[in-house]
Amino acid sequence: MKASIKSALLIGGTVLAAGLAFAYAEGSSDLTTVPSVDLNRYVGQWYEIARYPNRFQKQCAGDVTATYTAMGDSKIEVLNSCRNKDGRNEIAKGKARVADPNSKARLRVTFFWPFYGDYWIIGLDPEYRWAVVGEPSRKYLWILSRSPQMDESDYRRAVSIVREKGYDPSKLVLTPQQ
């Protein structure tokens, strides 16, 4: 009996230590965001131009959009849409909240409460025509545009931000938009 308690404490301690190490790594990220975001200008429809492949978008074949609607000072409704491989439209609804009230460049997004993910605006055109969105572990990345196609020079600038922020641009997959 004492051995099983000891094993449970060892496993629990290991899980706790791993969780604390992960939290420390997340908190100590060297990823920086843009200095500030005007959420009134940021809300609206965005087209996904490119992304890192991820499991929750594996059904998306193209025409990926994200529509953000303000719900007060620090909350945003999120509506993601894409055309799946069968040609049908897939929709995911979520909510975002501002995680950094000073810059408003760090948000936390949920599609399945209570699970939240980081949404950090790490690049933003001065005219809000395009944005680069990532998160501290650099596992997820999106390049978004206000129009279905992005000017080549703007795309090159966005990719240079991707590189500057420590992401690997070769992992980007272009999103077909009609």
pLDDT digits (tens, 9 = 90+) for 52-97: 999 989 999 999 999 999 998 789 999 999 999 999 999 999 999 9
pLDDT at 18: 31
Residue-wise pLDDT for 11-44, tens only, equals: 333 232 333 333 334 444 699 999 999 999 999 9
pLDDT at 116: 92
Residue-wise pLDDT for 108-124, tens only, equals: 999 988 889 999 999 99
pLDDT at 11: 33
In sequence order, what DSSP letters do the residues of 48-71 get, joined into one string?
Answer: EEEE---GGGTTEEEEEEEEEEE-
* Helix, strand, coil percentages for the chain (3-state, nearest 5): 30, 40, 35
pLDDT at 118: 96
pLDDT at 33: 98
pLDDT at 101 over 80: yes
Fold exhibited by the domain 39-174: Lipocalin (2.40.128)
pLDDT (average), residues 139-163: 98
pLDDT at 30: 93
Structure pTM?
Answer: 0.83
* DSSP at 94: E
In sequence order, what DSSP letters do the residues of 137-177 get, joined into one string?
Answer: TS--EEEEESSSS--HHHHHHHHHHHHHTT--GGG-EEPP-
Q: Which is it for the CA torsion 92, 101, 36, 173, positive or negative?
A: negative
pLDDT at 72: 82
